Amino acid sequence: MSSFPSQLLTWFDQHGRHDLPWQHPRSPYRVWLSEIMLQQTQVATVIPYFHRFMEAFPTLPDLARADNDTVMANWAGLGYYARARNLHAAAKQCLERHDGDLPRDFDALLALPGIGRSTAGAILSQAWNDSFPILDGNVKRVLTRYHGIVGFPGQPAIEKQLWGLAAAHVAQVPAGRMADYTQAQMDFGATLCTRAKPACILCPLQGNCVAHAEGLVDALPTPKPSKTLPEREATALLLEDAQGRILLLKRPPTGIWASLWTLPQADTDALMREWFATHIQGDYDNAEELPLIVHAFSHYRLHLQPLNARKVALRARVGDNADLRWVSRTELANLGLPAPIRKLLERHRAH
DNA sequence: AAGTCGGGGAA
DNA sequence: TTCCCAGACTT
């Protein structure tokens, strides 16, 4: 009987995706960038960002030497901004310690910020045909079904079991086909063994699939235990000076919307009023309420109330500084803004 | 072991 | 609405 990898590769040769942007050429830098962008992000979302990034930073040293605001601006809208910070930091480390290249060594890759076990395996297998397993959402779904693994895959004990199965399969991959095997697993999970309505009727592994045999396909993988999303409220200030420029604030390098530029924001109206009083010359009570923004994060839902005040100025002793500045409409395009804030400003400009 | 970190597509 | 996606990192 043909092995799991062999059957998967036969399927891949005929039905896999062979023309994704990072496959031509399949260089270490391009594979790395794609793997980081694809963390918790679907292929269709990533593709335009990948093209823009490659245009802005054609080589790893280009990325390493780039200004952080430029990197963040090219990432803005893609989410999980720690990925961009880690990517930039890792590029700098590669320039200093690895001659401007990505190291072809598992532990050296793992030591770079933003690269975990699965991403390191994906890079080495795809860029160099080296034998390393991966364990992403696709592989977790395929393995839990194929082997009939019950239990939430995010649970450490289950995840450990899945890593073991993934490694066992890798040992059976035909020589010279590791890159294709890694891609095959992801293509298979993304296009055939999908979360909803998998195409079992077309599946080459159906005969050996435990979930299929036991009628567990729809029940696996075991879903994450659900919790009700907490609600949070906040107030934001859309402040304009006499020239119509907007006051933006650069957020710290960690936390929500890390290193992005956004509106001054506070958890309560009282705190917002206090910030206004110490930083701005103008009348807070004159500010106009803009439509409420409801934005869902992974772990809470934010109700953000924007207030608009025009023709205000910074208090003299505050002044312009690196983290707080007036931004014109044309400058706006060069800065990284959170998606809901950018939408707010675009709507506001339309009026 | 649990929490933090975005935004969008799909059902 | 809810789930979850080519996960990593912190606590």
A250-262 pLDDT tens trace? 999 999 999 999 9
Q: CA at A141, C1' at B1: how many angstroms apart?
A: 22
**Protein chain A, residues 210-249, with a C-beta closer than 7 Å to any atom of nucleic acid strand C:** 221, 223-224, 226, 228-229
In contact, A293 and A268? CB cutoff 8 Å: no
Q: What are phi and psi of A223, to 5 degrees?
A: -70, 155
* pLDDT tens by residue, A151-189: 999 999 999 999 999 999 999 999 999 999 999 999 999
Residue with tokens 């998998």: A198
- Residue A195 CA to nucleotide C3 C1', Å? 10
The string of DSSP codes covering A102-169 is: --S-HHHHHTSTT--HHHHHHHHHHHH--------HHHHHHHHHHHT--S-TTSHHHHHHHHHHHHHH
Q: Is the CB of A71 under 7 A from strand C?
A: no
Structural domain spans, chain A: 4-219, 231-350
SS3 A292: coil
| Torsion angle of C-alpha atoms A317, A320, A322, A328, degrees rounded to 10 | 160
Residue-by-residue DSSP string for A156-216: HHHHHHHHHHHHHHHTTSPTT-HHHHHHHHHHHHHHTS-SSS--GGG-TTGGG-HHHHHT-
Q: DSSP of A74-108, one letter per residue?
A: HHTTS--THHHHHHHHHHHHHHHHSTTS--S-HHH
Residue A349's pLDDT is 82
- Which residues of A are identified as catalytic? 35
Centre a 10 Å sphere on the Cβ of residue A130 and count the other Cβ atoms it contains. Answer: 15
Q: What is the pLDDT of residue A4?
A: 98
Chain Cα centroid distance, residue A295: 17
Residues with CB under 7 A from strand B: A 40-42, 44-45, 76-82, 155-157, 196-197, 254-258, 295-299, 338-340
Amino acid found at A138? N
Annotation: CATH topology of A4-219: Endonuclease III; domain 1 (1.10.340)
A227: helix, coil or strand? coil
- Tell me which protein residue sits closest to nucleotide C9, measuring alpha carbon to C1': A114
Cβ of A298 < 7 Å from strand C? yes
The pLDDT of residue A1:
65
User: Which strand B nucleotides have any atom less than 7 A from protein CB atoms?
Assistant: 1-11
Nucleotide nearest to A37 (CA to C1'): C6
Q: Does domain A231-350 have CATH number 3.90.79.10?
A: yes
In this complex, the answer to whether residue A144 has its CB under 7 A from any atom of chain C, a nucleic strand, is no
The distance (Å) linking the CA of A120 with the C1' of C9 is 15
Low-confidence ranges of chain A (pLDDT < 70): 1, 319-320
**Which nucleotide is the nearest neighbour of A338, by CA and C1'?**
B6
Position A321 scores a pLDDT of 75
> Is A75 within 8 Å of A50 (Cβ atoms)?
no
DSSP string, A26-60: --HHHHHHHHHHTTTS-HHHHHHHHHHHHHH--SH
Query: To which residue do tokens 């934001």 refer?
Result: A236
Task: Round to whole Å and give the CA distance between A73 and A289.
Answer: 28
Alpha carbons A153 and A159: distance in angstroms, whole number: 5
Positions on chain C within 7 A of a protein C-beta: 2-9
Burial A148-159 (b: 16+ CB within 10 A, else e): ebeeebeeeebe
pLDDT at A320: 58
For the record, the structure tokens of A20 come out as 């994704």
A93 touches strand C (CB under 7 A): no
Distance A299 CA to B7 C1' (A): 13
- A52 token code pair: 């823009």
Which amino acid would we find at residue A260? L
**Which DSSP symbol is given to A349?**
H
- Dihedral sign for Cα A120, A121, A127, A128, please: positive
The DSSP element (H or E) to which A278 belongs, if any, is: helix A269-279
The CA radius of gyration of chain A, in Å to the nearest whole number, is 24
